[in-house]
Amino acid sequence: MEKTSLILVGAQWGDEGKGKITDWLSSHMDYCVRYQGGHNAGHTLYIDGKKTVLHLIPSGIFHAKTIAIIGSGVVISPSHLWKEIEELKASGLNMNPEKLWISPNAPVITSFHQQLDVAREAKGDVKIGTTGKGIGPTYEDVAARKSIHLKDLLDIHVLTAKLKNIATEKNALLQLVYGMNPVSVEEEAKTLFEYGQKLKNYLKNFQNEFFNDSEKNKNSKILYEGAQGILLDLKFGTYPYVTSSHTVPMGAHFGAGINHYESCLKLGVLKAYTTRVGEGPFPTELFDSMGETIQTKGKEFGATTGRKRRCGWLDMPLLRYAIQVGHLDAFAMTKVDVMAELGDVKICTHYEYTDETNSHKKISIYSNDLDLKKVRPVFQTLPGWDAVVDQKGQLTKELKHYLDVVESELKRPISLLGTGVGREDLMILKPQVFGSLMS
């Protein structure tokens, strides 16, 4: 089937370079849509040497003709969103409401949610290592049918009533369980109402553009920009060390209301090695000087929290699983430049696992009933590369071999290759993957 739009997701535990790839592909797109997560995401772009980290605004915003959309599956901190809009405006970008559409039905992260997130991480029994932005508690209220939506910020009476509806329980938790100060409904309502006034021109019920106006939908190229990564999906990820939204491509269906999943190319962004921020098992994690070298060379610090990212080799069982649950068609691989001059490199081809009856198993693909803490990764060693390209501008043979091995292990093409932080540091290896999407 000819692919008319594209869903781009992280294929690992986030921070694969989705922002950079989204920015690059968006020059071909009419719309760029965020559909889940919130400002826990940090998507880094370097355009003409200038660094921008986007948390809520879609990474296609820098292209004049691309409309940026924030769908109703995204949880919104109004203060953060406004700050991001103001900063982009100050940098000279067109941030007029025709350029950015925000769903009036997007759930709002309030101080209640943010403080509960922080309190649970500090004092709760199980530490997930969240970003502390209030993401989990906000999605909890969506499921509990108590969510405050952006459109509610426009009516102080509705807003106050909805805040009261969550205040009793949440203030009891904050005070009695976590020993924190309560949140004042009146002050919270006042602050949120003020942000509602600032943001109101951006609220647009764009659903009609995608559902009713089918001709337009059919002729538009849409890039759905995932946040986090498949292994952090609430349902399919390495639970409980996950985020609270659906990061698999299917999430685009719920978070943006799309009705053309089948006709979307599903592109997984993949780092040439693996990183993880926060808690949770990580079979190929490196605890030696190689891990430190990759962390330092790759500048592996969280774009949202500044935390050091844990680093390890590429993990085929996890990636095969990501392909399976994410219906991935192809990959974009980033950061191969970081792996230059490391000496020999490794990939984990499978796991060994000893079950409770003491029998040994070879595991080629992760499944989410498997206890990742108990697996033993088995590695294949491959020759490392000294540079990404040789003097003729061709991929060095060792890097080419690495890509060939990964492609044959995963049975998916690597279509794009990230070779540096800049927008231009990208090689198109297999343009045919994109068909008419890149024309």
Q: Which residues are catalytic?
A: 15, 43
Residue 10 is a binding residue for Mg ion (CB under 5 A): no
Q: How far apart are CA 67 and CA 58, in angstroms?
A: 9
Residue 41 is a binding residue for ligand IMO (CB under 6 A): yes
Q: In what order do the strands lie in the sheet with 67-70?
A: 100-102, 67-70, 31-34, 222-225, 5-10, 264-271, 330-334, 414-418, 426-428
**Minimal distance in Å, beta carbon 413 to ligand IMO?**
23
Q: Which residues have C-beta within 8 Å of that of residue 44, sequence separation ≥ 6?
A: 17, 19, 20, 51, 52, 53, 54, 303, 421
Contact criterion met (CB below 8 Å) for 257 and 295: no
Residue nearest to ligand IMO (CB): 278
**Minimal distance in Å, beta carbon 233 to ligand IMO?**
10
Pairing of strands 264-271, 274-276: unpaired
With CB under 6 A as the contact rule, which of the stretches 126-134, 185-193, 216-224, 341-349 interacts with ligand IMO? 126-134
128 binds, among Mg ion, ligand GDP, ligand IMO, none (CB under 5 to 8 A by kind): ligand IMO
Pairing of strands 376-382, 345-354: antiparallel
420 binds, among ligand GDP, Mg ion, ligand IMO, none (CB under 5 to 8 A by kind): ligand GDP
Question: Which of 207, 267, 185, 183 has the alpha carbon at shortest distance from 5?
Answer: 267
Determine which residue in the list 4, 22, 40, 171 makes contact with ligand IMO, applying CB under 6 A.
Answer: 40
Determine which residue in the list 56, 88, 106, 135 makes contact with ligand IMO, applying CB under 6 A.
Answer: 135
Q: Which residues pair with 310 in a beta bridge?
A: 276
Determine which residue in the list 81, 153, 223, 303 makes contact with Mg ion, applying CB under 5 A.
Answer: 303
Residue 232 is a binding residue for ligand IMO (CB under 6 A): yes
Q: Is 207 exposed, middle or buried (0-12, 13-18, 19+ CB in 10 A)?
A: middle
Backbone angles phi, psi at 89, to 5 degrees: -60, -45
With CB under 6 A as the contact rule, which of the stretches 106-114, 132-140, 215-223, 344-352 interacts with ligand IMO? 132-140
Footprint on this chain of ligand IMO (rule: CB under 6 A): 10, 13-15, 40-43, 128-131, 133, 135-136, 227-229, 232, 241, 243-244, 277-278, 303
Footprint on this chain of Mg ion (rule: CB under 5 A): 15, 42, 303
